[in-house]
Amino acid sequence: MIFDRNENKKVVVLLGAGSMGTAIVKRVGAGKTIFIGDINEENLKNRANELKYSGYSVETMKVDALNEDSMRAFAQRASQLGKIKYFIDTAGASPNQAAPEHIINLDLVATANAIDIFAEYIDEGGAGLIISSQTGYMMEFSEEVENQLATTPTAELKNLEFIQNKAMQNSGVAYITAKRANHLRVRNAAATTWGNKKARINTISPGIIVTPLAYDEFNAAGDSYQKMIDSSPVKRVGTSEEIARAAEFLLSDDASFITGIDLLIDGGVIASIKAGMYQLNVH
């Protein structure tokens, strides 16, 4: 049975076959081709089936976000499927899942590389969204370091003095640095490479969102997460659907005047930290 006889469908690209990304593409992918990339083929199969059984048109490709050639092949394949309307990047590793170097490689360098590559392939009027984290607000960086994180060529990012001497020594610092860099790289890209294509790009910084992978974090650092929840104004965790609703807006034409910004969706955790309601210890 042919479910969709329309040709020349726009393409929604999702890097990272997780529950949050899936929730987002469900809101923006109707009538389009959803193209998912992930290094885990089992994840790809499961997400593709979930979407196909809900009536979406889905294609998948195994891709290694850490490998520039693999990422470029992924982008090229996406462009062959049709004009790329949206690019959504949810790939990443958390502090309790990975060593500092892997976090820097994936959450910082690979994300910066994806921003660079998809700037070449995004369609005019398209939009990008990078899923970052509330942790990008949890450290103060000097103006010099922020400028370096924003503008250093991607191939040279890992060699920055701050990355080598600070971020590479601790998974928590590596993660915070990578997520702050996400904000800064997107802001810069919005004004340069993506702006030159008449396309928009933003970030979302989720707080404590319950996903299957989040349970690894809860099991490893449950006390600190519980304190953040308890000290936050809303007194609860968030859901992937709440992130997806915000993502849908930022990607949509209703947000056509919004680019280069980060939307913090954390239930007020950062507000409680800034107000002194919760003491954050970053080593």
**Residue 91: pLDDT band with limits 50, 70, 90:** very high
Inside any domain, residue 2: no
Inside any domain, residue 92: yes
Query: What is the predicted pLDDT for the residue at 100?
Result: 96
Inside any domain, residue 156: yes
CA angle 176, 35, 247 (to 5 degrees): 50
Q: Mean pLDDT over residues 52-63, rounded?
A: 97
Q: Give the chain's domain count.
A: 1
Inside any domain, residue 93: yes
What's the chain's average pLDDT?
94
Q: Calculate what percentage of the chain has a pLDDT beyond 90.
A: 85
* Rounded-to-integer distance, Cα 253 and Cα 19, Å: 24
Q: Mean pLDDT over residues 10-16, rounded?
A: 98
pLDDT tops 90 at residue 212? no
**CATH for 82:** 3.40.50.720
Beta-bridge partners for 38: 62
Helices (H), 133-198: 143-151, 161-165, 171-191, 193-196
Inside any domain, residue 65: yes
Q: Is the backbone of residue 53 left (phi > 0), alpha (psi -120 to 50) or beta? A: alpha
The domain of 160 spans 11-274
What are the structure tokens assigned to 231, written together?
């000290």
Query: What is the predicted pLDDT for the residue at 221?
Result: 66
The CA–CA distances, whole Å, from 97 to 16, 157, 219, 276, 279 equal 16, 22, 11, 28, 23
pLDDT tops 70 at residue 222? no
Inside any domain, residue 216: yes
pLDDT tops 70 at residue 220? no
CB 152 within 8 A of CB 109: no
Q: What is the pLDDT of residues 121-170, one digit of tens each?
A: 999 999 999 999 999 999 999 999 999 999 999 999 999 999 999 999 99
**Which has the higher per-residue pLDDT, 264 or 223?**
264
Is the pTM above the cut of 0.85? Answer: yes
Q: Mean pLDDT over residues 80-103, rounded?
A: 94
The CA–CA distances, whole Å, from 30 to 3, 20, 224 equal 12, 17, 39
The CA–CA distances, whole Å, from 138 to 233, 240, 281, 283 equal 17, 22, 9, 12
3-state SS of the chain: helix, strand, coil percent to 5?
55, 15, 30
Query: What is the predicted pLDDT for the residue at 6?
Result: 79
Query: What is the predicted pLDDT for the residue at 282?
Result: 61
Inside any domain, residue 146: yes
Inside any domain, residue 171: yes
